[in-house]
Amino acid sequence: MRRLKLAVQVVPIVAMILAAVMVKPPSSRAEMQRERYLSPLEMTLSLDGSRLYVVCEGTDELRVVDTKSATVVAHVPVGHQPRGIVISPDGHELFVTNSWDDTVSVIETVSLKVVQALPTGSEPTGVVTDRNGHTLYVANRLDGDISVIDLATGHETKRLLAGPGASYLALSPDGKWIYCTHIYPNAGAVRTQPNSEITVIDTSRQVVVERKQLHNVAGVFHVALSADGKLGVAAQLRPKNLIPLAHVEHGWVFGDSLTLFGQDVSGTIQIPLDELDRYYALPWGVVISPDKSKIFVTTAGSQSVSVVDVAKLMKSVRSHPQSFANDLSASADYVLARIPVGHNPRGVLVSQDGKRLYVANRLDDDITVIDTTRNEVISKIDLGGPKTVNALRRGEQIFYTADYAFQGQFGCSNCHLDATIDGLEWDLEPDGFGKDIVDNRLLEDLAGTEPFKWNGGNPDMPTECGPRVEKYFFRSQSFNPGQLTDVVSFIFSLPYRPNRHRLPNDELSAAQERGKAIFERTKFKNGKTIPEGNRCSTCHSGPKYTNRQQMDVGTGKATDRSPLIDVPQLPNVAYSAPYLHDGSARSLEEIWTVFNPKDTHGISNDLTKDELNDLIEYLKTL
Amino acid sequence: MKLRMWFLTLCLTASMAAAAQDMPLFRWENFTTEDGLPDNHVFCVLVDGNRVWAGTENGLGLYENGAWKIFRPKDGLVHQAVLSLAVDERTGDLWVGTMGGLSRISAGRIDNFTQLNSGLSNDIVYGVGVLGDFVWTATAAGASRLNTRTGQWALFNERNTPMYEIWTYAVSPAEDKVYYAVWGGGVLEYDTRTERWKDYNDPDGETEMVLMKDQGLIHEITTSVSYVDKILWVATYFGASRYDGRYWHNFLQKDSGLPSNFLNQIKAVDANRAWFSTDKGLAYYDGTNWAVYRPALDTHKPEMLVRDAEGRVTSVPVKTAPAHNYILGVSFQGDDIWVATAKGLSHGVRTQSAAVTAKAGDAMQKK
């Protein structure tokens, strides 16, 4: 019996080690064969409902579906990584955001020709027009703002400040207001609960007039209004990042929830979608039925659509004078159904008559059609993607699902939203409250940046994603060796996003050139030689600007078990705030103005403010 | 002969009365901490539609719908001493220059920029202005420009401009030019089209004598600039200047209606009209005549003086006056004016029918 117990304890450990040893990540993205999957993300319907326009992020195109025959009737090439779509009020034009080109493609619905490319801010995502179709509003994810574009001239007239990671927009039915959500939290004090907002724009004045505060929320996705305009709903995450993540089995790490707002409720109310022993991870797309009887929410990590009964929800809201966002028993009162759909369901819309629900399964290249009366899947529309699922796609499906975590609580993409970051600092390991706080890091082009973790404890990605994830994150036996190989392959396949700080010809501006000289300098300003270990370019060396060593640069905190910090890679560092291993530097400037008093993290105290600004301008180009 | 004298006297009196009648008349309402103002030392004021922002030594006040709301560091403001204000007319965002950095208030959200967490050159932000996507600041260590679209900061100081003194005190961006008042360093002009800087200095040098009047800037110690209708107005501690691109005209207490040569702010209405905030009252110039509004320097009773083109001064009977003689800034609200003073904020409510009865006996030739 004792041997059996021992075997039960030892076998999983051996399996984890074997998995780590057996998985050999590809050394570069070039070795991988990447099928061009469609990755349908968002949709809109023609005004008569006869055509469904589907944004395909993976193939840079719009696919046009005849809703009667459920077949694809046209492909329209657009820009790179399209993300959002809206149809003009008269139905004559479609506007598609191209997140890697920083443009909006204008498409005529009759000819299906792209007739214009409108410039926007960085990483345009959500898009809406005003009610008369004169003005286009575009949420720019990287800039955290909203471009206001005059459609008569095609010129961007101004930018409106939104939340970091501004992504999704909704126009109120009366056309008076536009609501914007954002996927990264607002900047706040270190080690405090994250907060987000719903930014409200007055369309008559084209200015922000309100910011609805969402407390303890980081990651807000689709936002929708009821037909009468009295009920608004946004899908969101409530992270519990201030306590050790290992407490997953004691409660939850993320609360999957909705924020309600509008006349039907008082202020903003957060309501849970999860159940006591089952989670519905990453609520993303949301829509309200035309008769306001139901709310449909795609749960991108749980391959399902949650159906909320609005009447029961309102009754539940009224019966809870206090916030019940953390009461996981509450959802039983108003969630009518959980409808299984495909992998990573994202965009969702309901037909004008309210009878059909369309769900974009991003990682299956199809559209699930649901009968909203019976809450049942009635068909799937094949968008014509590759018929085989290769290792990368399998890995991507694993990355985006929460199925491997205890009670389906969360997956990789909960923290790495759209394979980026979440803007949070986490207390990951069961080493005590507030110990070894770590900032989230970018996953772009990771090959050659090993080891991983901020303390460099994981020599390779299979270790990072295998035993570590099982033990500290998911608290369940997660990936088998094949799955681990796939997810590691997917992670290594993630490319850099375009860097907007570089000039088009890859030359450096005058300020960037000056900053480069500071980054590479070997002498103090007084002419003396800077010790090699104190030069920027010593530790941040090589093609990824990391020497892959662990260094004590004086940024360790009393709560860290070791002052040795893995030297991070620097490409696209501009897009990964906050900074330092624990996220204590809220901006690049603070790395040196606040956390480098003794010149242990490079020599910076002899720099003027101009020179520090130049250095930062250069770093942003990497 | 008697008839001629009588006629001349009548004409003189009529012209003085006309000058007085042409000048704006106000009923002054004054706000202090007793009314909810954060502090009585009001450094700046800005009108934004129906909202009035007052920057004080101990907090930013917002007057809206008859009530004051106060912003201090506990409310998210970067520092309690508010030195300058500017609104982005396109977005409605308010930019707040303080003794401890720059704040942006956008629909209730406050984001702070300091010399530690951003590219801002210095935390003492004396002046702030908005032009398109750029926010310009005047700081104790030169000028800073934030591109609100890219987040990029550009610093301007002695290294890359003719700024031989880096204590920038005020900024006025408008149309294609950005003007800086550099305390002890004259005026700097930035042309947004050519991206070049140009300096304007006192041809007399740093002396307090005016040897070459109307041949250049009146003095190097500049405190405020206002660029309107392609005319540059400059306030200094030793008089004021107006520059039309070719000719300078200087205003001194001794030969204009200025109540003092010590000016804290100048605010132009258009090419010909401007308001002057001095240590001895608020002055208005309509291109010909002058008016001064203040509590009388001796009696502290409300006083309004009008000076016509011939230098004749008329005392206009008034019942109210700004809260104090020491004026730091103004902002317009239609025909009304809001005035920052050393002892409260004043609202000049324009009276529509200026039935001014200038008493001939009050008229006196200014010596």
B91: chain A residues, CB-CB within 8 Å: 158-161, 207-208
Distance (Å, rounded) from C-alpha A549 to C-alpha A564?
9
- Read off the CATH number of the domain in which A571 is found: 1.10.760.10
> Helices A609-619 and A510-519, interaxial angle, to 10°?
90
- Nearest Cα to A414, choosing from A190, A296, A256, A577? A256
Q: Measured between CB atoms, does A511 come within 8 Å of chain B? A: yes
Which chain B residue is nearest to residue A201, measuring alpha carbons? B107
Q: What is the pLDDT of residue B166?
A: 94
Q: Residue B10: inside a domain, yes or no?
A: no
Q: What is the pLDDT of residue A433?
A: 81
Q: Measured between CB atoms, does A204 come within 8 Å of chain B? A: no
Q: Which residues form the domain of A521? A: 510-619
Distance (Å, rounded) from C-alpha A620 to C-alpha A502?
8
Q: Do A208 and B154 touch (CB under 8 A)?
A: no
* For residue A10, pLDDT beyond 50: no
* For residue A429, pLDDT beyond 80: no
Q: What is the pLDDT of residue B17?
A: 60
Backbone CA torsion sign across A48, A50, A53, A54 = positive
Q: What is the pLDDT of residue A474?
A: 86
Q: Residue B20: inside a domain, yes or no?
A: no
Q: Do B90 and A158 touch (CB under 8 A)?
A: yes
Q: What is the pLDDT of residue B4?
A: 57
SS3 content of chain A, % helix, strand, coil (to 5): 20, 30, 50
Q: Which residues form the domain of B43? A: 28-365
Q: How confident is the model at residue A582 (pLDDT cuts 50, 70, 90)?
A: very high
- pLDDT digits over B127-168, tens only? 999 999 999 999 999 999 999 999 999 999 999 999 999 999
Quote the percentage of chain A above a pLDDT of 70.
94
A619: chain B residues, CB-CB within 8 Å: none
Secondary structure of residue A534 in the 3-state scheme: helix
Q: What is the pLDDT of residue A202?
A: 98
A157: chain B residues, CB-CB within 8 Å: 90
Q: Which two tokens stand for residue A58?
A: 């993976």
Q: Residue B13: inside a domain, yes or no?
A: no
Q: Residue A516: inside a domain, yes or no?
A: yes
* For residue A302, pLDDT beyond 90: yes
Q: Residue A24: inside a domain, yes or no?
A: yes
Give me the half-sphere count of Cα atoms (radius 13 Å) on the Cβ side of residue A528: 6
Q: How confident is the model at residue B366 (pLDDT cuts 50, 70, 90)?
A: very low
The mean per-residue pLDDT over the stretch A37-41 comes to: 98
Average predicted confidence (pLDDT) for chain A: 92
The single residue listed with the structure tokens 């290792």 is A391
Which chain A residue is nearest to residue B132, measuring alpha carbons? A158
Distance (Å, rounded) from C-alpha B277 to C-alpha B215?
24
* For residue B327, pLDDT beyond 70: yes
Q: How confident is the model at residue A15 (pLDDT cuts 50, 70, 90)?
A: very low
- pLDDT digits over A379-416, tens only? 999 999 999 999 999 999 999 999 999 999 999 999 99
Number of independent structural domains in chain B: 1
The mean per-residue pLDDT over the stretch A539-553 comes to: 95
Q: Do B157 and A158 touch (CB under 8 A)?
A: no
A209: chain B residues, CB-CB within 8 Å: 92, 107
Say if residue A471 is in the same domain as residue A567.
Answer: no
Secondary structure of residue A472 in the 3-state scheme: helix
Residue A585 is classified by DSSP as B
> How many Cβ contacts (< 8 angstroms) between chains A and B?
71
CB atoms inside a 10 Å sphere around CB B225: 32
* For residue A437, pLDDT beyond 50: yes
Q: What is the pLDDT of residue B19?
A: 67
Q: Residue B178: inside a domain, yes or no?
A: yes
Residue, of B291 and B14, whose pLDDT is higher: B291
Distance (Å, rounded) from C-alpha A612 to C-alpha B95?
24
Q: Rounded to 5 degrees, what are φ and ψ at A586? A: -80, -15
Q: Rounded to 5 degrees, what are φ and ψ at A99? A: -70, -25
Q: What is the pLDDT of residue A272?
A: 97
Q: What is the pLDDT of residue A296?
A: 98
Q: Do B109 and A197 touch (CB under 8 A)?
A: yes
Distance (Å, rounded) from C-alpha B15 to C-alpha B186?
38
The mean per-residue pLDDT over the stretch A521-544 comes to: 94
Q: What is the pLDDT of residue A469?
A: 84
Distance (Å, rounded) from C-alpha A356 to C-alpha A426?
41
Q: Which of A444, A459, A493 is where one domain is finished?
A: A493
The mean per-residue pLDDT over the stretch A434-442 comes to: 91
Which chain B residue is nearest to residue A120, measuring alpha carbons? B149
Say if residue A522 is in the same domain as residue A438.
Answer: no
Q: Specify the range with the lowest mean pLDDT, choosing from A3-7, A507-511, B287-291.
A: A3-7
Of residues A500, A593, A613, nearest to B155 (C-beta): A613
Q: Measured between CB atoms, does B115 come within 8 Å of chain A? A: yes
Of residues B91, B121, B153, nearest to A160 (C-beta): B91
Q: How confident is the model at residue B205 (pLDDT cuts 50, 70, 90)?
A: confident
Q: Which of A466, A493, A520 is where one domain is finished?
A: A493
Q: Residue A403: inside a domain, yes or no?
A: yes
Distance (Å, rounded) from C-alpha B337 to C-alpha B258?
18
* For residue A76, pLDDT beyond 70: yes
Q: What is the pLDDT of residue A563?
A: 94
Distance (Å, rounded) from C-alpha A563 to C-alpha A593?
20
Those of residues 579-618 in A touching chain B at CB distance below 8 A are 586-587, 589-590, 593-594, 609-610, 613, 616-617
- Nearest Cα to A29, choosing from A572, A494, A496? A494
Task: ipTM value, please give it.
Answer: 0.90
Q: Do B91 and A199 touch (CB under 8 A)?
A: no
Distance (Å, rounded) from C-alpha A150 to C-alpha A134?
6
Distance (Å, rounded) from C-alpha B211 to C-alpha B308?
26
Secondary structure of residue A249 in the 3-state scheme: helix
SS3 track for A73-125: EEEEECCCCEEEEEECCCCCEEEEEECCCCEEEEEECCCCCEEEEEECCCCEE
- pLDDT digits over B330-361, tens only? 999 999 999 999 999 999 999 964 444 333 33
Those of residues 122-161 in B touching chain A at CB distance below 8 A are 122, 133, 141, 148-150, 152-155, 157, 159
Q: Measured between CB atoms, does A158 come within 8 Å of chain B? A: yes
Secondary structure of residue A471 in the 3-state scheme: helix
Question: Are B30 and B346 spatial neighbours (Cβ–Cβ below 8 Å)?
Answer: yes
Residue, of A521 and B363, whose pLDDT is higher: A521
Q: Measured between CB atoms, does B335 come within 8 Å of chain A? A: no
The amino acid sitting at A596 is N
The mean per-residue pLDDT over the stretch A438-466 comes to: 93
The amino acid sitting at A75 is H
- pLDDT digits over A137-195, tens only? 999 999 999 999 999 999 999 999 999 999 999 999 999 999 999 999 999 888 899 99
Quote the percentage of chain A above a pLDDT of 90.
85
Backbone CA torsion sign across A21, A27, A31, A33 = positive
Distance (Å, rounded) from C-alpha B64 to C-alpha B46?
12
Q: Measured between CB atoms, does A189 come within 8 Å of chain B? A: no
Q: What is the pLDDT of residue A252?
A: 73
Q: Residue A100: inside a domain, yes or no?
A: no
Q: What is the pLDDT of residue A31?
A: 44
Residues recorded for chain B: 367
List, as own/partner pairs, every contact residues B195-198 make where C-beta atoms lie below 8 angstroms and the sequence separation is at least 24, other chains included: B197/B156, B197/B160, B197/B161, B197/B162, B197/B163, B198/B162
Secondary structure of residue A234 in the 3-state scheme: strand
Q: Which of A462, A493, A524 is where one domain is finished?
A: A493
Residue A26, judged by CB atoms within 10 A of its CB (0-12, 13-18, 19+), counts as middle
Q: What is the pLDDT of residue A263?
A: 96
Secondary structure of residue A388 in the 3-state scheme: coil
CB atoms inside a 10 Å sphere around CB A209: 14
Distance (Å, rounded) from C-alpha A283 to C-alpha A269?
16
B122: chain A residues, CB-CB within 8 Å: 609
Q: Which of B75, B88, B150 to mutate to test the interface with A (most CBs of A within 10 A)?
A: B150
Query: How far is the alpha carbon of B163 from chain A, nearest alpha carbon, in Å?
Result: 15
- Report, in angstroms and rounded to the nearest whole number, the Rg of chain A calculated over CA atoms: 24
* For residue A16, pLDDT beyond 50: no
Number of independent structural domains in chain A: 2
Q: What is the pLDDT of residue A477?
A: 76
B116: chain A residues, CB-CB within 8 Å: 589-590, 593-594
- pLDDT digits over A590-612, tens only? 999 999 999 999 999 999 999 99
Instruction: Give A158's strand partners.
Output: A148
Q: How confident is the model at residue B18 (pLDDT cuts 50, 70, 90)?
A: low
Of residues A210, A211, A613, nearest to B153 (C-beta): A613
Q: Rounded to 5 degrees, what are φ and ψ at A407? A: 60, 20
Which chain A residue is nearest to residue B91, measuring alpha carbons? A207
Q: Residue B3: inside a domain, yes or no?
A: no
Q: What is the pLDDT of residue B358?
A: 36
A199: chain B residues, CB-CB within 8 Å: 107
Q: Which two tokens stand for residue A266?
A: 């008082």
Is omega for the bond preceding B173 within 30 degrees of 0, making it cis? no
Q: Residue A287: inside a domain, yes or no?
A: no
Q: Do B148 and A199 touch (CB under 8 A)?
A: no
Residues recorded for chain A: 622
Q: Residue B298: inside a domain, yes or no?
A: yes
- pLDDT digits over A308-363, tens only? 999 999 999 999 988 899 999 999 999 999 999 999 999 999 999 999 999 999 99
Q: What is the pLDDT of residue A266?
A: 84
Q: Residue A188: inside a domain, yes or no?
A: no
CA-CA distances (angstroms) from residue B169 to B172, B223, B252, B340?
11, 6, 21, 17
Q: Residue B64: inside a domain, yes or no?
A: yes
- Read off the CATH number of the domain in which B163 is found: 2.130.10.10
